[in-house]
């Protein structure tokens, strides 16, 4: 008997959840908005007491233009829900979620009594974009790490077989081209530009094109101090201005680790995050702390 009661309860919950919103339509709209890079908020009624205008589990998807899918009850409740969701989108303060409880009389202005609780999930298009020239060993390690963060990555290479080794991901775009220099004009100027092609001969024309036609927030080239000297000499010979010649990082990455692809990738990733936060590209709370006396002493001892 206990088993039958449990099964009946489970079936009842599933039936009620399915009636709360149209799941296929909901998922399709979410995919569309992500593909269009449109910011949106998913609002879910997570609890209700009294004369609630919808059932628990009801969902609505809201953009700056209003509701685009679902409903959480219509009328004054839904109007207030839309207003709050749009205020979150407009604030761009880094919030990823919010939980609010409203009294239908005192907070919403309805005559019927009761309470509703809404959970807001915020999905905002991230402005951190990275354009990586070269899909070699370091890129094969670095790009999967980047895709775990809030960013969009474009990787360009002449070798389709190396591009094919990269993971399939909705935030990764690959471009195979024999004219990497010519691809620069099609990329977002706000991108971080990372050059790790097959060598100096392929890095130089791309670097010169970036420095003479764009003003990106970050340009980095994998290599050594000797390579940096040669690159800057060659750029001067190509009549690139002095301030632009001094604007890129080479060697790229933090001075940590060894020269294996995984540790090079970690050092580069650390620098990219450091520059991203310094420029305020993503509005979020960054880590901040002070070293203790013990940490300072250990650092002094090496």
Q: Which two tokens stand for residue 175?
A: 């471009």
Q: Are residues 28 and 44 in the same domain?
A: yes
Q: Are residues 153 and 245 in the same domain?
A: yes
Q: Are residues 186 and 232 in the same domain?
A: yes
User: Which tops the pLDDT comparison, 13 or 31?
Assistant: 31
Q: Are residues 140 and 270 in the same domain?
A: yes
pLDDT confidence of 197, banded at 50, 70, 90? Answer: very high
**Residue after which a domain boundary falls, among 123, 152, 171:** 123
CA separation for the pair 99, 295 (Å, rounded): 39
The pLDDT value given to residue 160: 97
Type and span of the H or E element at 83: helix 75-91
Is there a domain that residue 196 lies in? yes
**What is the per-residue pLDDT across 153-177, written as a single tens digit (0 to 9) for each?**
999 999 999 999 999 998 899 999 9
Q: Are residues 117 and 148 in the same domain?
A: no
Task: Find the domain containing 207 and state its range.
Answer: 129-279
CA separation for the pair 134, 147 (Å, rounded): 16
**What is the per-residue pLDDT across 95-111, written as a single tens digit (0 to 9) for each?**
788 999 988 888 888 77
Does 19 have pLDDT greater than 80?
no
pLDDT confidence of 253, banded at 50, 70, 90? Answer: very high
Is there a domain that residue 23 lies in? yes
Q: Are residues 143 and 99 in the same domain?
A: no
Tell me 198's DSSP state.
S
**Residue after which a domain boundary falls, among 76, 91, 123:** 123
Does 4 have pLDDT greater than 50?
no
Q: Are residues 60 and 160 in the same domain?
A: no
- pTM higher than 0.85: no
Q: Are residues 134 and 106 in the same domain?
A: no
**What is the per-residue pLDDT across 137-149, written as a single tens digit (0 to 9) for each?**
999 999 999 999 9
Q: Are residues 274 and 133 in the same domain?
A: yes
Is there a domain that residue 287 lies in? no
Residues in Cβ contact with 240 at an 8 Å cutoff, skipping those fewer than 6 apart = 208, 211, 212
Is there a domain that residue 161 lies in? yes
Is there a domain that residue 58 lies in? yes
Q: What is the tally of structural domains in the chain?
A: 2
| Percentage above 90 pLDDT, the chain | 60
Ranked by mean pLDDT, which of 26-40, 72-86, 253-267 comes out on top? 253-267
What average pLDDT score do residues 182-205 get?
94
Does 18 have pLDDT greater than 80?
no
Among candidate residues 222, 205, 221, 202, the one with its CA nearest the CA of residue 213: 205
Q: Are residues 24 and 163 in the same domain?
A: no
Q: How distant, in Å, are the alpha carbons of 70, 78, 182, 221 from that of 75?
A: 14, 6, 54, 56
| Percentage above 70 pLDDT, the chain | 85
Q: Are residues 155 and 43 in the same domain?
A: no
Is there a domain that residue 296 lies in? no
Tell me 249's DSSP state.
B
CATH of the domain at 253: 3.40.50.720
The pLDDT value given to residue 298: 56
Is there a domain that residue 295 lies in? no
Q: What is the residue whose two structure tokens read 């709050």?
A: 84
Q: Are residues 145 and 245 in the same domain?
A: yes
Is there a domain that residue 67 lies in? yes
Beta-strand pair 59-63/218-221: unpaired
**Residue after which a domain boundary falls, among 105, 123, 141:** 123
């Amino acid at each position: 008997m206990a088993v039958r009661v449990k099964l009946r309860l489970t079936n009842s919950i599933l039936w009620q959840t399915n009636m709360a919103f149209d799941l296929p339509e909901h998922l399709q709209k979410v995919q569309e908005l992500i593909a269009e890079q449109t910011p949106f908020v998913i609002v879910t009624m997570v609890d209700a007491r009294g004369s609630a205008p919808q059932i628990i589990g009801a969902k609505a998807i809201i953009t700056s233009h209003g509701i685009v899918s679902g409903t959480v009850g219509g009328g004054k409740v839904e109007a207030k829900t839309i207003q709050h969701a749009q205020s979150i989108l407009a604030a761009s303060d880094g919030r990823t979620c919010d939980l609010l409880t409203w009294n239908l009389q005192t907070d919403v202005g309805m005559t019927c009594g009761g309470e509703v609780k809404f959970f807001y999930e915020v999905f905002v298009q991230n402005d951190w974009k990275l354009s990586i020239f070269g899909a070699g060993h370091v890129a094969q390690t670095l790009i999967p790490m980047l895709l775990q963060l809030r960013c969009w990555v474009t990787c360009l290479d002449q070798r389709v077989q190396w591009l094919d080794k990269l993971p399939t991901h909705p935030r990764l775009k690959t471009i195979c081209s024999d004219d990497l220099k010519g691809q620069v004009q099609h990329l977002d100027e706000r991108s971080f530009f990372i050059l790790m092609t097959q060598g100096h001969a392929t890095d130089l024309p791309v670097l010169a094109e970036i420095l003479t036609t764009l003003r990106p927030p970050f340009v980095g080239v994998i290599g050594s101090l000797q390579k940096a000297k040669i690159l800057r000499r060659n750029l001067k010979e190509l009549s690139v201005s002095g301030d632009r010649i001094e604007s890129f990082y080479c060697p790229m990455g933090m001075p940590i680790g060894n020269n294996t692809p995984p540790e090079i990738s970690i050092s580069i990733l650390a620098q990219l995050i450091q520059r991203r936060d310094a420029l305020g590209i993503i509005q979020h709370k960054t880590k901040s702390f002070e070293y203790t006396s013990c940490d300072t002493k250990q650092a002094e001892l090496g």
